[in-house]
Structure 1
């Protein structure tokens, strides 16, 4: 069987490297185990159709299903870039010590180091290479997994990943990044943070800022990335006039890229081919972990034997002619099949899409989370907000600000488009702290019917100026 392998040439910026250094936890030493967990592949959400999945059921010690997966071996594709194009140091094998089902519905990819100091690990990719949404639809690639449960110095060099690569790479090996690469989940050096990245265009530079790519990262919600299973999701949305890519962890969106950011030529290069294949691997060392650490990894302190444990991988596509609901509200973790009452308390974290913001735990009454790190140009989108036949004429929002003196901005409401004229707005500046909450009302143009509501934020300064907990509408 000819194996197929592909590159991920990550060169983190100095900012990411500094972030990684700050976030590097104190070294911990734990048993070389990872807790087993098995959840069935979820049924297709309402409005979606099942395309493909693997639940990794099978006898302990067996390889993943060869009808679904190709096992990559060695240190490069035949004739392709050395060390998989990333500088990683391990050799990939099909040895069950590196790659095996655990008999409990999980796949384990486990890096090992032999007596001579040589590292081995594993990498697999789907036989199918045609994962792509139909025109007017949205494709959703999702996996539930736990990254290696190791941190500190013992984790230096660990680089688990769940990603997808454009099909034209197979057999050619030198057309990256133009064919496109979607990094659904990357994690390095045992840091409690997930990275989502798009690679495209030309290298170096180009519309995707290669070789870094266009990326974002965030801390895993609740339990750390290392200590628990999390669900990582990528969506490719072709339902609107301009396509969009979105990244999620546990249903919470943290990154998006619009077609308009890339340009027609580069977008066509990465989307006009047959589609993508999906990959799972744990690399050791290479450009990304080295760049975050600021020195070569792995080191003598790095401990082998910590697996990435994969519960399932699944692909869905909307099947309603573009009318499906492409995302689940992060706050409730599922589709409810209906809109939201405009006169209810709408939690900020229950957005369907966002740009530029983050979530954090709030100290406001009722607890939960608030939307944070909001600055000029950021926005939130809430789909199918139902105002009814009685016009709403007031907007109220729960906000807080610890902005410096002289820093302020506008909180605005727009309907059905992020660029529509605002129907309501109010100004906000320092309220006494980022958790010093107040409810601010604003008069609004009369609104009836059902609309997608955009909460947008504008300021004359680049600094963040507000946090948002919730908002509501009323008739007076």
Structure 2
């Protein structure tokens, strides 16, 4: 699933679709258990994260694991999620819920007035990335919506990953990278695996199509049964490799050697990726293979079922979320390089050095930075590069917390208008002495609801 008017799949895919549809009629349906636990961690691997979607029927998925996207776009992002899809994403349990037997159910619905609704979720974690010398395995066991033919026109289920810098920016696709682990349209018996990168249009990933491959699901059709979809990012070999699998059978691969250094770095050099699950209706990809979709013949109410999603990393022990040693607390930590955030945006800055800053920050917003290494000598001061164009009487606190956004602040400073949203100053604050490696949260507190601060960077020091 892409995010900037992409997936205008070339008409050559139409011939593939016809062939695959014909093949699907020859496959034998095999009964597969509707629910299974996350598989045991293989020898030589460690579990990074998982969700097996256990819970009561008609309840939402875990809010600790998932963010529910709603509407027709991210705030300030491309309309219709950048793909031309027509549905309205909601948090309603009619569109998004556990089924009570260990599955997540994402169900497109159509109202009496003809409006389509569906659901889209993304992991709170945005740091899925293999450590140097290791392999990251992202896997989901999924049954696509069980609908085919004219009744399926417009269905677009997907299991995919986006580069962390997309959060809060929404206009830096495809440079930050996208891994489509499983995509399908129009009820065709096929799984597509696609890489998006570089620039749009064209570039090394041939956007907006991307570098992709597809195949029919082994045994039972993709729609009739659960299948396991897996993506591997291999940093244990040089050049690095990206690989796609269905039921353990590899059907697509991409090598680092296919790209220039800048393209590869932009796609892999950031904090990592977050994962997404959704069922769109209509848009560029299904329209490319089925004409304008959905149609009057398209039926609502056919869910995508997700049994589990899991992420493993090769090697034993707890995998790091940053390179060995973590991020040096005494370095200049760019605010836009967070691992997660709430309520903010990323924008171009005019501050010295250029680049980007985090903006639109108001009461209750926060930024998270993983693996910040303070070392053995206690840091006792925090400095941040900030600006404010807040109205008269609007001010707030910039706070530092460790390991939890609700932990007691170890230090803070107050800020009011500095002369404009790009009028920058460096503000210090004393903090309680900190050693070791921590997750650092910048949190923001104000007695008014209005935005009150932009942040460009921050750092820590011993004095």
Tell me which residue corresponds to 2:123. 126
Tell me which residue corresponds to 2:322. none
Tell me which residue corresponds to 2:286. 289
Query: 2:262 & 2:24 partners in 1: Cα distance?
Result: 46
**Match among 299, 306, 324 for residue 303 of structure 1:** 299
Tell me which residue corresponds to 1:86. 83
**Is 2:66–2:124's contact at 8 Å kept on the other side of the alignment?**
yes
Encode CA deviations 1:120-159: one digit per residue, 9 max, x unaligned.
0000000000000000000000000100000000000000
**Match among 296, 311, 314 for residue 315 of structure 1:** 311
Query: 1:65 & 1:257 partners in 2: Cα distance?
Result: 33
**Is 2:195–2:205's contact at 8 Å kept on the other side of the alignment?**
yes
1:49 aligns with 2:32: no
Question: 1:304 Cα shift?
Answer: 0.3
1:184 aligns with 2:181: yes
SS in 2 for 1:75: coil
**Match among 160, 168, 171 for residue 163 of structure 1:** 160
1:273 aligns with 2:277: no
Query: 2:111 & 2:86 partners in 1: Cα distance?
Result: 13
Tell me which residue corresponds to 1:231. 228
1:256 aligns with 2:253: yes
User: Normalising by the residue count of structure 2, what TM-score does the alignment of the two structures yield?
Assistant: 0.65
Tell me which residue corresponds to 1:377. none
SS in 2 for 1:270: helix
Judged with a 3 Å threshold, the aligned counterparts in structure 2 of structure 1 residues 8 and 180 are, in CA distance, closer, same or farther, namely: farther
Encode CA deviations 1:427-449: one digit per residue, 9 max, x unaligned.
xxxxxxxxxxxxxxxxxxxxxxx
**Is 2:162–2:178's contact at 8 Å kept on the other side of the alignment?**
yes
Question: 1:241 Cα shift?
Answer: 1.7
Judged with a 3 Å threshold, the aligned counterparts in structure 2 of structure 1 residues 89 and 36 are, in CA distance, closer, same or farther, namely: farther
Tell me which residue corresponds to 2:111. 114
Question: 1:38 Cα shift?
Answer: 1.0
User: Normalising by the residue count of structure 1, what TM-score does the alignment of the two structures yield?
Assistant: 0.63
Encode CA deviations 1:410-469: one digit per residue, 9 max, x unaligned.
xxxxxxxxxxxxxxxxxxxxxxxxxxxxxxxxxxxxxxxxxxxxxxxxxxxxxxxxxxxx
RMSD, matched Cα: 2.0
Query: 1:303 & 1:141 partners in 2: Cα distance?
Result: 31
**Is 1:203–1:210's contact at 8 Å kept on the other side of the alignment?**
yes
Query: 1:291 & 1:261 partners in 2: Cα distance?
Result: 27
Query: 2:38 & 2:179 partners in 1: Cα distance?
Result: 22
Query: 2:106 & 2:265 partners in 1: Cα distance?
Result: 34
SS in 2 for 1:103: coil
**Is 1:207–1:262's contact at 8 Å kept on the other side of the alignment?**
yes
Tell me which residue corresponds to 1:173. 170
Question: 1:37 Cα shift?
Answer: 1.3
**Is 1:36–1:106's contact at 8 Å kept on the other side of the alignment?**
no
Query: 2:189 & 2:196 partners in 1: Cα distance?
Result: 23
Query: 1:66 & 1:226 partners in 2: Cα distance?
Result: 28
Query: 2:15 & 2:171 partners in 1: Cα distance?
Result: 31
SS in 1 for 2:265: helix
Question: 1:292 Cα shift?
Answer: 1.1
Tell me which residue corresponds to 2:209. 212
SS in 2 for 1:316: strand
Judged with a 3 Å threshold, the aligned counterparts in structure 2 of structure 1 residues 242 and 8 are, in CA distance, closer, same or farther, namely: farther
Query: 2:79 & 2:134 partners in 1: Cα distance?
Result: 37
Which consecutive aligned stretches of 4+ in structure 1 deviate over 3 angstroms post-superposition?
5-8, 21-28
**Is 1:26–1:152's contact at 8 Å kept on the other side of the alignment?**
no
Encode CA deviations 1:307-326: one digit per residue, 9 max, x unaligned.
000000000001169xxxxx
1:95 aligns with 2:92: yes
Judged with a 3 Å threshold, the aligned counterparts in structure 2 of structure 1 residues 263 and 98 are, in CA distance, closer, same or farther, namely: same
SS in 2 for 1:289: helix
